[in-house]
Amino acid sequence: MFLEKTDLNQATKSLFYAAQAVIHHIESQGYKAYIVGGAVRNILLDKPVNDIDITTNCLPEEIINIFDRTIPVGIEHGTVLVLWEEYQFEITTFRKDGDYHDHRRPDQVYFVSDLKSDLKRRDFTINALAIDESGEIIDYFEGQDDLLQKNIRAVGDAEQRFQEDALRMIRAIRFQSVLNFDIEENTLNAIHKLSPMVEHVSIERIVIEFKKMIEGTGNSKALQIFYQEMYRYIPFFKCLKNDIKKYQIHHATTFEIYLGYIIFCETNECIKRLPNLKISNQEKNLIKTYADIFRYFNIPGYSIRQFVYRYEINLIKDVLKFIHHEKLDLNNMIDIQLLKENYHLLPIHSRSELAINGHDLMIHLGKKQGAWLKQTLEDIENEVIEGRLTNNREKILEWTKQNV
Ligand code: ATP
Ligand code: MG
């Protein structure tokens, strides 16, 4: 049985034992329950498992009755979260999707009594495997074969499945990247034919999959399909003006660094479209910071001290790694050691460490607030960072006499 596999890490084993206990509890009440989806796939691939989904013929109300601690997270789709020891499990009643009219969501979902119907509604054969209470694998769609062949294959008729929910096409390239698999021919042909339907999918759902895709080691193959087939139908990406060949990368990275790189390559028009991705302000700011860092690597005669003063060294490191991996040709290359040395040489690390503030300057110079103040503070800050002016109140005031 798979739990005896010695190469599973202890955390994964403990999680599976807890899931088995939950399944045992459901079955002791006369129902059937199985582990499904990503957890089965990952365990068969010897990959870490972070969460386990369970499917059952027990109805949601009954799950709430038979467990002490539950949260009805998606009761309309049949999903209840069960808290068990220090773990939590999403338990979903076997279901079948009704008709689809908008290429995103079924009009209705129906609870059914058999596992096979539930597995049939799932997207890819490798995601349609189940494990029963005794640890046996249940595989109606040759998902194990596809795991061995490293194939992403739609369950059933690929065209129909993508017509139902166009997000599945983006999920196909997400799994292609994360697992470093290939998309099987029929499934790929269906993507080729139906990718314009991606237009019907909400950007929030696309971004969730896109983020995982960018972080995968197979992102190069996945991006190739993304730029051949899909980007024209997706907000923000459809506005790209630059030669999209530039956006074909070859190493796993994060969404924010990748978007920072795109913003760096693109025009202002494109930056304005960033809100169309409907991501948080925090993410947008990080993306803009990364874009600024990329730009800094291209400023002629740039000051390393200013660079390490303005941007967190870890963010600079992220960009440097991306530049090296993707062999980008930028003006200023620098090694991380030099960045660190310059950081340690900085007399101040933020404006609040300046020995003087705006109020002091106004009093000392007998001037009212105005544009001059912001400029003067900036100039003082630059002089101090560059080591041309000591961060000392008297020295700074003396400097203002000659320079303001
Ligand atoms: P991960 O490890 O990245 O979470 P996962 O396979 O668990 O991968 P989820 O997005 O969490 O992926 O989805 C859980 C399961 O639900 C999938 O394995 C699949 O069986 C099913 N599923 C999710 N989204 C869809 C969809 N759009 N269409 C059909 N089935 C889906
Ligand atoms: Mg999951």
Convert the pLDDT of each residue in 137-160 to its tens digit.
Answer: 999 999 999 999 999 999 999 999
Does the pLDDT at position 2 exceed 80?
Answer: no
Residue with CA at minimum distance from ligand 1 atom 6: 38
Global pTM reads 0.92
Q: Judge residue 277's burial from the number of C-beta atoms within 10 Å of its C-beta, 0-12 exposed, 13-18 middle, 19 or more buried.
A: buried
- Closest-lying ligand to the alpha carbon of 178? 1
How far CA 20 is from CA of 80, 93, 252, in Å, comes to 17, 17, 34
φ and ψ of 131, to 5 deg: -125, 130
Band (29; pLDDT cuts 50, 70, 90): very high
Residue 5 binned pLDDT confidence (cut-offs 50, 70, 90): low
Which pLDDT value is given to residue 97?
86
* Any atom of ligand 1 within 6 Å of the Cβ of 103: no
**Chain mean pLDDT for the chain:** 94
Q: What is the pLDDT of residue 177?
A: 98
- List, for residues 334-373, the tens digit of each pLDDT value: 888 988 999 999 999 999 999 999 999 999 999 999 999 9
From the alpha carbon of 167, which atom of ligand 1 is closest? 27
Instruction: Look at residue 43 and tell me whether its pLDDT is greater than 90.
Output: yes
Supply the residue whose CA is at minimum distance from atom 3 of ligand 1. Answer: 38
Mean pLDDT, residues 259-269 taken together: 92
Q: Starting at the edge strand that comes first in sequence, how are the strands of the sheet with 87-93 ordered?
A: 70-74, 79-84, 87-93, 53-56, 33-36, 130-131, 137-138
Q: Can you tell me the distance from the alpha carbon of 381 to that of 376, in angstroms, rounded to the nearest whole number?
A: 8
**Over residues 18-44, mean pLDDT:** 97
Q: How does pLDDT run across 64-121, given as a tens digit for each residue?
A: 999 999 999 998 889 999 999 999 999 999 999 888 888 888 888 889 999 999 999 9
CA 88, 203, 210: angle at the middle one, nearest 5? 65
CB 123 less than 6 A from any atom of ligand 1 = yes
The minimum-distance atom of ligand 1 relative to the CA of 164 is 28
> What pLDDT shows up at residue 1?
58
4 band by pLDDT with thresholds 50, 70 and 90: low
Question: What pLDDT, on a 0 to 100 scale, did the predictor assign at position 267?
Answer: 79
165 lines ligand 1 (CB under 6 A): yes
Confidence (pLDDT) at 3: 66
